[in-house]
Amino acid sequence: MRQVLYALVPTVALHVVFFGPGLLIQIVLGVVTALAAEAAALRLRGKPLPPFLLDGSAIITAVLLALCLPPLAPWWLVVSGVAFAILLAKHLFGGLGANPFNPAMVGYAVLLVSFPARLLQWLPPNVAGLEPASLSFVDTLTTIFTGMPPARFTWDAITSPTPLDALRTDLALGMTMGEAHTNAMFSAFGGKGWEWINLATLAGGGWLLALRIIRWQIPIAMLTALFICASIMSAADPGAYAGPLFHLTSGASMLGAFFIATDPVSAATSGRGKLIYGAGIGVLTYVIRTWGGYPDGVAFAVLIMNLAVPIIDRYTIPRIYGHAR
């Protein structure tokens, strides 16, 4: 599992480049919470600490959840989300290997449903033309721990919606894609900053594939399904629907495909099952982004497909040696 963390390094690095050091603080808070919650749960369940506490799974959950949160989100958001993920989504179901749902996504979904406004307070990327407020490391730290930006700033001055969120709002206001795209946060095919973060995640995911730590079926099926859905809709009405490249390089597309949906514990198990599972996540992500109530749909798409895993597994048992088809 350590390699999964290494594979996230490029993503985290670019995230810090574009959105400042907030993510690093969120990761530290998340990992400390995860280890504390894991230790407490293991103690309560009478399990030995050494092999389980450092198996890396709790740390991955914390890092993935931290990556989904706005960099300036208040400390209690990541702490409660990670604690919920580890204690309820993981250990209540039997701990490592027994959780039917992806713990990080359960934690994120709980936060998104409970504190939607806080989760939409993203920052503008640090690129030419967007001029984000210059927050020092201390400013970032104070904002996270007090829940308020430094006195010289207001929330409105420093925050910005994500490209997915902005596009969604603009389209809902009746703008066309062309009009929405005049916003400086969009680049030729994605959102500034976000497209690079997604490419870095793609690179990390490719490395995991090359190491055979993850298998190709889920990421390829998910990204292909997302690509096809977006292609069909944008071809049908280019004015009203974003194109496939925008979808692939926005939000948590790559993170979802290579790092979240590929969690083996909560995913389908056979090769064919993984293809169905991944494609289901891709389609649902598109549907939720386009017609649902939240700007990004990866978390809910993963959770819904987690729910479908037992049925997918049942109907995709591979042919066994010596059996007719």
152 binds other proteins (CB under 8 A): no
Nearest residue (CB) to other proteins, 269 versus 290:
269
Among 302, 244, 256, CA closest to 277: 302
Among 79, 85, 84, CA closest to 144: 79
- Out of 203, 215, 231, 308, the only residue in the binding site for other proteins (CB under 8 A) is 215
Kindly state the smallest distance separating residue 43's Cβ from other proteins, in Å.
17
- Out of 265, 287, 304, 308, the only residue in the binding site for other proteins (CB under 8 A) is 265
- Out of 35, 96, 141, 304, the only residue in the binding site for other proteins (CB under 8 A) is 96
68, two tokens: 């989904």
236 binds other proteins (CB under 8 A): no
Among 197, 185, 127, 124, CA closest to 156: 124
Task: Please state the φ and ψ torsions of residue 191, each to the nearest 5 degrees.
Answer: -105, 140
Give the CA distances from residue 259 to residues 6, 72, 76, 302, in Å, rounded to whole numbers and listed in that order. 12, 23, 24, 11
Sign of CA dihedral 281, 286, 288, 293: positive
Which residues make Cβ contacts (< 8 Å) with residue 246, sequence separation at least 6? 163, 167, 189, 190, 191, 230
98 binds other proteins (CB under 8 A): yes
Nearest residue (CB) to other proteins, 94 versus 206:
94
293, burial (CB in 10 Å: exposed 0-12, middle 13-18, buried 19+): exposed
- Out of 62, 79, 267, 279, the only residue in the binding site for other proteins (CB under 8 A) is 267
- Out of 21, 95, 147, 243, the only residue in the binding site for other proteins (CB under 8 A) is 95
270 binds other proteins (CB under 8 A): yes
Kindly state the smallest distance separating residue 48's Cβ from other proteins, in Å.
8
Nearest residue (CB) to other proteins, 152 versus 323:
323
Stretch in the footprint of other proteins (CB under 8 A) among 23-31, 34-42, 107-115, 314-322: 314-322
Nearest residue (CB) to other proteins, 28 versus 44:
44
- Out of 264, 293, 307, 315, the only residue in the binding site for other proteins (CB under 8 A) is 264
Contact 279, 221 (CB under 8 A): yes
Among 130, 126, 148, 128, CA closest to 139: 148
Binding mask 45-74 for other proteins (x = CB under 8 A): ------xx--x-x-----------------
Stretch in the footprint of other proteins (CB under 8 A) among 73-81, 108-116, 295-303, 311-319: 311-319
100 binds other proteins (CB under 8 A): no
Buried-state track 113-124, b at ≥16 Cβ within 10 A, e below 16 = eebeebbbbbbb
Helix, coil or strand: residue 210: helix
Which residues make Cβ contacts (< 8 Å) with residue 236, sequence separation at least 6? none
319 binds other proteins (CB under 8 A): yes
Kindly state the smallest distance separating residue 105's Cβ from other proteins, in Å.
17
Residues interacting with other proteins, by CB under 8 A? 51-52, 55, 57, 95-98, 215, 264-265, 267, 269-270, 313, 317-323, 325
